Amino acid sequence: MVDIATLDFETLPICKRPDYPPKPVGVAINAPGIRSRYMAWGHPTDNNCRKSDAIRLLKDLYRQYPVLMHNGKFDLEVGERHMSLPLVPSKGWHDSMLLAFLYNPRVWSLKLKDLAKDWLGIEASEQNKLNDWIIANIQGAKRKKNLGEYIYLAPGGLAGRYAKADIKMTKALMKLCYNYVKKNGMLAQYEIEKRCVIKVIEMERAGISIDHKLLSPDLAEAKKVRAKHERAIKKKLGD
């Protein structure tokens, strides 16, 4: 495996298009000659750089190395929209989530923390610390299921420890899954998956035209069939 640069953006809350992708407030980076660091510029406190500093370093890394992310579809768009980076890095890119799917397409979850715990024995201790801070300091957060939408409000140092833990997990998953995919002759399938990611991004941006009038009867019928099967399942398994 060649040298790679691993990154993970932390951003404002994720919204639907056209307000997607969200603006980043920091980025965790690991690369040859660069120990894991978190460059923070948009948190309320404890920032350590300007956004322009991060852009400069990321552009340099994009020119030198393939870029690794977990769920690259998100980070690639954040980088292009808000950090003046190309959508597809010139040296290529890797996605530990796609590799994990090829490693085991029946896995119950492709989320980074779940995979790291189940396959690598890595606990999400930094996430727990961050969540504790969010609940203690942000009004109303305790009632939310997804505390991740408040990361941008945390101090840069605390968010940074969380983000650096993420890139550590991402690199470990890459090592495990890439070797398996390569050994089992699935690199061609991996490249297809990556090309599909870029096409999906393009489709989401452009939108897909549909015939509402033609589809309306089908939608109504589909809802009836779904309700029928839900009743059958509840009858079999109970409420």
Same domain, 39 and 89: yes
Question: What HEC string does 24-45 produce?
Answer: EEEEEEEECCEEEEEEECCCCC
Q: Mean pLDDT score of the chain, rounded to an integer?
A: 94
Burial zone of 76 (CB within 10 Å; 0-12 exposed, 13-18 middle, 19+ buried): buried
Please check the confidence at residue 182 and state whether its pLDDT lies above 80.
yes
The range of the structural domain enclosing residue 97 comes to 5-208
CA neighbours closer than 13 Å in the CB half-sphere of residue 7: 29
Residue 123 sits in a domain whose CATH number is 3.30.420.10
Q: What is the pLDDT of residues 109-167, one digit of tens each?
A: 999 999 999 999 999 999 999 999 999 999 888 777 788 899 999 999 999 999 999 99
Strand partners, 67: 5, 93
Please check the confidence at residue 72 and state whether its pLDDT lies above 90.
yes
User: How confident is the model at residue 150, as a pLDDT?
Assistant: 94
Mean pLDDT of 219-239: 88
Same domain, 180 and 202: yes
Mean pLDDT of 158-178: 97
105 falls in which pLDDT band (50, 70, 90)? very high
Q: What angle do CA 61, 103, 116 make, to 5 degrees?
A: 65
- Percent share of the chain, pLDDT over 70: 99
Same domain, 203 and 232: no
Please state the domain count of the chain: 2
Segment among 149-153, 177-181, 210-214 with least mean pLDDT: 210-214
16 falls in which pLDDT band (50, 70, 90)? very high
Same domain, 192 and 226: no
Residue in this structure with the two tokens 């460059």, named with its chain if needed: 39
Residue in this structure with the two tokens 């408040």, named with its chain if needed: 150
Mean pLDDT of 191-218: 92
Cis bond leading into 217, ω under 30°? no
Same domain, 217 and 194: no
Same domain, 161 and 201: yes
Spatial neighbors of 165 by CB under 8 A, at least 6 apart, are 124, 125, 126, 127
Same domain, 191 and 218: no
User: How confident is the model at residue 112, as a pLDDT?
Assistant: 97
Give the tokens for residue 28: 């965790």
Contact of 167 with 8, CB cutoff 8 Å: yes
User: How confident is the model at residue 211, as a pLDDT?
Assistant: 86
Going by C-alpha positions, the residue among 66, 32, 235 that lies closest to residue 76 is 66
69 falls in which pLDDT band (50, 70, 90)? very high
